[in-house]
Chain A
Amino acid sequence: NAGVMQNPRHLVRRRGQEARLRCSPMKGHSHVYWYRQLPEEGLKFMVYLQKENIIDESGMPKERFSAEFPKEGPSILRIQQVVRGDSAAYFCASSPRTESIQYFGAGTRLSVL
């Protein structure tokens, strides 16, 4: 039973480009959470999704960031027109239910040049 899979592990983008981060939850998990870890800071909640629905996006920047979790395929975190301040580690977690332990992926490290 594979764990939470995130790809790519490392992503380099130039300012103004788009970044697409993918997260495949553990088998049987329909709840996905995205967190961001800025350099030298703790993790911060971004968004919580269930299949085809955004439940809570209170931690997402209002502009340029979007997330989806389609019926088929991985969850995608999309950052348009990236800026240097978007450089961070982005972690995805999944769980089978709301009130259960969250299992984390290895993260995607985004570097914006």
Chain B
Amino acid sequence: KNEVEQSPQNLTAQEGEFITINCSYSVGISALHWLQQHPGGGIVSLFMLSSGKKKHGRLIATINIQEKHSSLHITASHPRDSAVYICAVQFRNYQLIWGAGTKLIIKP
């Protein structure tokens, strides 16, 4: 069983739709990261969470430590949001265990 499970694996939506990507994990963690990987391959850190909720622009990330679950939401989605979104959990203070990623395509 993978320690970090993301769903859905692939997601296609129309511009403007509200997007939700889920992440469940099975290990005790010190933090959870959401990252974005564009087709060119570069990785951008979006959020680092240990509790509650964080918001940055149109992106919102939430985490429920008791349920070992996190969600990434995108409001008013745009084609430039098309990318792979990766959830990674941090344990032993620094080591990241990565989910397989969610490939998001936003159509104009």
On A, residues with C-beta under 8 Å from B are: 31, 33, 35, 42-45, 48, 55-56, 89, 91, 95, 98-107, 109
Contacts and interface: CB of A to CB of B under 8 A. Distances in A.
A35 B95 CA distance: 10
Contact of B96 (A102, A105, A106): A102
B43 A91 contact: yes
22 contacts: A33-B94, A35-B96, A42-B99, A42-B101, A43-B88, A43-B96, A45-B95, A55-B94, A56-B92, A89-B41, A91-B43, A99-B31, A99-B93, A101-B45, A102-B96, A104-B35, A104-B42, A104-B43, A106-B42, A106-B43, A107-B41, A107-B43
A91 B41 CA distance: 10
Contacts of B48: 100-101
Determine the main DSSP class of B at the interface with A: strand
Given A42-B86, A101-B33, A56 B95 contact: yes
